[in-house]
Structure 1
Amino acid sequence: MLAMALMVTAVPAQEMPDGGTVAAEKAADDDVRIAFLSFQNNPFWIPVTEGAEAAKAYLSGFNGTVDYVDLGNELSAEAVVSGIEGALAQQYDGIVVVPIFDGTARIIDEAVDSGVPVFNIIAEGGVPSKRLAFIGQDATAAGKQIGEFIVDKMGGEGKLGVITGYFGATQHNNRMNGALDYIKEEAPKIEILGPFENKDKAESAYSLVEDMHTANPELKMVYVTAGGPYGAAKAVQDLGLTGKVGVVGFDHTPENVRYLESGEMVGLLDQAPFQQAFDSTVMLFNYLVAGTKPPSDVIAVEGNLMTPGSE
């Protein structure tokens, strides 16, 4: 898989961008090359790409090169494996990747064993690997936070539709179960519809909401655990259900925030994707150049829950 050239942003070399929190410690003696492997199947990935672009611009002042590798628009373990294999074939010094599924630990271990450190971001599978570190949101805790919000908004009763991204994605499952376990325990009068899978597609979320409402006219809320929540919000709007059915999801993308402003979305929890992309790349660079390990094996990022009127 070939690396895509990134446009250098307006961030001056050696000046940290807004949203980044980790500084490079020193310049490399020789060019240090990092492959940044990520997906592009919904607007969530835009700030991830921007974080990689910012890291590229920033590290260029420290003799570092960051190449973005597009893993495509279908999330799978196979795409991750292929991307890492390609990066190893091109002899990158380090890899930043979104592994997301079980089935990726083997290739990560192979990379590390060959002397190429790997930094996992956003979401990783449930099988441990030899990766340098992981930066991301605590998916179970985030799900519980959403669950608490849902119970409060629904008054502890009614029908809740649940749409997850990929049934096989550990992060998506943890977000879903973190919410549903809390809801089942604290609000047993809430009836759960689903879960259904939309593969992070907004158009699929749209159709699923249409189907759920047709079968359950008293539908009260929809929880989208991963990509495409704005598709569910558009369905609510088109069905004339604004103010009657609320959508809760993740990520402060322009598409999502637009429906928060118009009332179809009632809650959006962020996961700081720009920070994850930038900080992980710089931490990996520091490890390669100065031998500095990340501050922790798991680095949690804090998002904030945005509601109408708070944006």
Structure 2
Amino acid sequence: MTMKTTYLATMLTAASLWAGAGIAQDLPEGGTVAAEQAAEEEVRIAFLSFQNNPFWIPVTEGAMAAKDYLAEFNGTVDYVDLGDELSAEAVVSGIEAALAQQYDGIVVVPIFDGTARIINEATAEGVPVFSIIAEGAVPSDRLSFMGQDAIAAGEQIGEFIAEQMDGAGKLGVITGYFGATQHQMRMDGALDYLEANAPDIEVLGPFENRDKAESAYSLVQDMYTANPDLEMVYVTAGGPFGAAKAVQDLGLTGQVGVIGFDHTPDNMAYLETGEMVGLLDQAPFQQAFDSSVMLFNHLVTGAEVPELIKADGNLITPADVAK
């Protein structure tokens, strides 16, 4: 890897939480949590996630790495694709199926309100649920949540935008899904910061791209047609590279900048060429791998899991890539 990935910001480090009992701990690059001991009987974990844009590739890779790793400890991780349309209904159906198949534990990206009920039902049945990446605003009885503080991430982006735009100009805002709690919080964090600290920045939108790069592409073209003085575009969720491609194809590199999330290859390519001016990471591979192993340890040894494990963002710019 050419760039160091961000590690989970928690005082409870992997070393202190999961000190091994003399077991070889050959972790994959990006994983930080080791299995404590082998299970006497097979432990089965269902890993439920989506596949609608490149962000989910490292999530899937993290789950697959956990599957390979835990196989040596009598653990099974089955990756379940919830589809390419994010919805509470898909999460509910996925958890219901996992319960019907009698999995011992579930890792899931619940992301929407409307998922707490089924998480509570699973917990009541003795099947712990580990939420990662993003969850709804309604509290649930999940074992733990591992992910970014979305409001704080939005504020970090908002401060960056204010600096890049010198406190004035037109900013286009594209969110992933209206109704997705994480997307809304990322947007609110940035816009609330700008309202308080850079009130001369005019916000266009927000618009919804449903995490689709092609939709972000069209939205940027439309925004620029109506606002040729557009200076920056903030994409709160999936598909920011589509917005960057629109900037490139319109010949606006260096004139209009795109800021978004995740150090995926598609996004990094446009960071290197200058259409993307900033990317904030959330360590998706590590979240997927570590949560699976932590859940396995909890099921096998009863190891305690922190209720909240934060993933701090690492915001990088073209200058960072050049270094």
Is TM (by shorter chain) over 0.5? yes
User: In the alignment, which residue of structure 2 is the partner of 1:208?
Assistant: 219
Map 1:30-45 onto structure 2 (within 5 A): 30-45=41-56
User: In the alignment, which residue of structure 1 is the partner of 2:121?
Assistant: 110
Is the counterpart of residue 155 in structure 1 residue 137 in structure 2?
no
CA displacement at 1:303 relative to structure 2: 2.3
User: In the alignment, which residue of structure 2 is the partner of 1:181?
Assistant: 192
Is the counterpart of residue 270 in structure 1 residue 270 in structure 2?
no
User: In the alignment, which residue of structure 1 is the partner of 2:16?
Assistant: none
> Which structure 1 residue ranges, 5 or more long, are not aligned?
1-12
| Superposed structure 1 runs of 4+ greater than 2 Å apart | none
SS in structure 2 of the partner of residue 242 of structure 1: coil
1: CA distance between counterparts of 2:105 and 2:314? 31
User: In the alignment, which residue of structure 1 is the partner of 2:9?
Assistant: none
Aligned match of 1:82 in 63, 85, 93? 93
SS in structure 1 of the partner of residue 318 of structure 2: coil
2: CA distance between counterparts of 1:308 and 1:112? 45
Map 1:162-177 onto structure 2 (within 5 A): 162-177=173-188
Is the counterpart of residue 191 in structure 1 residue 202 in structure 2?
yes
Alignment RMSD (CA, Å)? 0.8
1: CA distance between counterparts of 2:197 and 2:313? 24
Aligned match of 1:135 in 125, 137, 146? 146
Is the counterpart of residue 287 in structure 1 residue 294 in structure 2?
no
Partner amino acid, structure 2, of 1:125: G
Map 1:43-54 onto structure 2 (within 5 A): 43-54=54-65
Deviations 1:163-187 (A, max 9, x none): 0001110000000000000001100
User: In the alignment, which residue of structure 2 is the partner of 1:309?
Assistant: 319
Q: Is the 8 A contact 1:14 1:62 kept in 2?
A: no
User: In the alignment, which residue of structure 1 is the partner of 2:73?
Assistant: 62
What TM-score do you get using the length of structure 1 for normalisation? Answer: 0.95
Deviations 1:51-82 (A, max 9, x none): 00111111111100000000000000000000
1: CA distance between counterparts of 2:279 and 2:116? 31
Total equivalences in the alignment: 298
Q: Is the 8 A contact 1:248 1:267 kept in 2?
A: yes
User: In the alignment, which residue of structure 2 is the partner of 1:94?
Assistant: 105
Aligned match of 2:307 in 297, 304, 309? 297
Q: Is the 8 A contact 1:42 1:227 kept in 2?
A: yes
Partner amino acid, structure 2, of 1:221: M
SS in structure 1 of the partner of residue 225 of structure 2: helix
> Which structure 2 residue ranges, 5 or more long, are not aligned?
1-23
Q: Is the 8 A contact 1:14 1:59 kept in 2?
A: no
User: In the alignment, which residue of structure 1 is the partner of 2:269?
Assistant: 258
Partner amino acid, structure 2, of 1:71: L
SS in structure 2 of the partner of residue 84 of structure 1: helix
What TM-score do you get using the length of structure 2 for normalisation? Answer: 0.91
User: In the alignment, which residue of structure 1 is the partner of 2:132?
Assistant: 121
Deviations 1:111-165 (A, max 9, x none): 1101100000000000000000000000000000000000000000000000000
Q: Is the 8 A contact 1:200 1:227 kept in 2?
A: yes
Partner amino acid, structure 2, of 1:278: F
CA displacement at 1:293 relative to structure 2: 1.5
2: CA distance between counterparts of 1:293 and 1:204? 43
SS in structure 1 of the partner of residue 202 of structure 2: strand
CA displacement at 1:45 relative to structure 2: 0.2
2: CA distance between counterparts of 1:102 and 1:222? 27
Q: Is the 8 A contact 1:19 1:275 kept in 2?
A: yes
Map 1:211-250 onto structure 2 (within 5 A): 211-250=222-261
